[in-house]
């Protein structure tokens, strides 16, 4: 059964249809790359899949639940509990340490302190930044910040991880390291990954690549 589904998705901005009747399905633990030129609708689709935006037509289902039918409160809960997001520009909170950035989402979900401590320790080890856990974001390299962002996105054990150009702001070596980390952790946690990228190399870590053009999927198995 698909953990994330979109059926007949249309999204318009003014008179322009950015997504035109698009459909896809992602299984638990599956990695899917969305590849295509700028302006083809990749990031718009990612926002719809993560409940950050709503389709004008069609539906998006996360773990069987129709996001369009969810109240704003329920949608926020679904995003916190079932969706992790990684951005190109990290979006770490500058006034929190690396560890505190990872802890925050679990605090918002009201995990018990001992459970938070154990989960964060586990992820800090997994992403290999034990020695930098108490550093401020301003003291971290781009690669280190993205590792923290990966740990933060996976903290609540989401069903789906959405990544928008996760290596786009990194040098080649750091980018390759983060991609290897994403592959290892999504395998380990059985987390589905939908990744927007311009890079054929980045897309190669995924089980499937869906190529987009003008708001449609033009190549790849849906």
Q: What is the mean pLDDT of residues 67-91?
A: 89
Per-residue pLDDT at 220: 65
E strand residue ranges, 31-82 = 31-35, 57-62, 65-66
Per DSSP bridges, beta strands 192-197 and 31-35 are parallel
Q: Could you give the CA distance from residue 150 to residue 144 in angstroms, rounded to a whole number?
A: 10
Q: What is the CATH number of the domain that holds 94?
A: 3.40.50.300
- Kindly state the helix (H) or strand (E) to which residue 164 belongs, with its residue range: strand 160-164
Domain that holds residue 111: 2-219
Q: With pLDDT > 70 as the criterion, what percentage of the chain qualifies?
A: 99
pLDDT of 80 higher than 60: yes
Domain count, the chain: 1
pLDDT tens readout for residues 182-213: 898 899 889 999 999 988 888 999 999 999 99
* Residue-level pLDDT at 155: 92
Residues 155 and 167: their CA atoms lie apart, in Å, by 20
Region 15-36: mean pLDDT is 92
pLDDT score, position 82: 93
């Amino acid at each position: 059964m698909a953990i994330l589904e979109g059926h007949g998705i249309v999204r318009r901005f003014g008179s322009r249809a950015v997504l035109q009747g698009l459909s896809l399905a992602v299984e638990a633990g599956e990695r899917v790359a969305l590849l295509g030129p700028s302006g083809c609708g990749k990031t718009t689709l990612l926002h719809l899949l993560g409940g950050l935006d709503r389709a004008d037509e069609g539906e998006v289902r996360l773990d069987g639940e129709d996001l369009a039918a969810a109240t704003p409160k329920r949608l926020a809960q679904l995003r916190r509990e079932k969706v992790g997001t990684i951005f190109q520009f990290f979006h770490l909170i500058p006034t929190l340490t690396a560890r505190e950035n990872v802890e925050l989402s679990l605090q918002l979900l009201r995990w018990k302190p001992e459970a938070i401590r154990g989960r964060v320790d586990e992820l800090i080890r997994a992403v290999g930044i034990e020695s930098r856990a108490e550093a401020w974001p301003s003291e971290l390299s781009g690669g280190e910040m993205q590792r923290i962002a990966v740990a933060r996105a996976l903290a609540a054990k989401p069903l789906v991880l959405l990544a928008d150009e996760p290596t786009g702001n990194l040098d080649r070596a750091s980018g390759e390291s983060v991609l290897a980390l994403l592959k290892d952790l999504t395998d380990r946690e059985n987390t589905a990954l939908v990744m927007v990228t311009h890079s054929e190399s980045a897309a190669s870590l995924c089980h499937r690549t869906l190529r987009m053009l003008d708001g449609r999927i033009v190549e790849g198995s849906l």
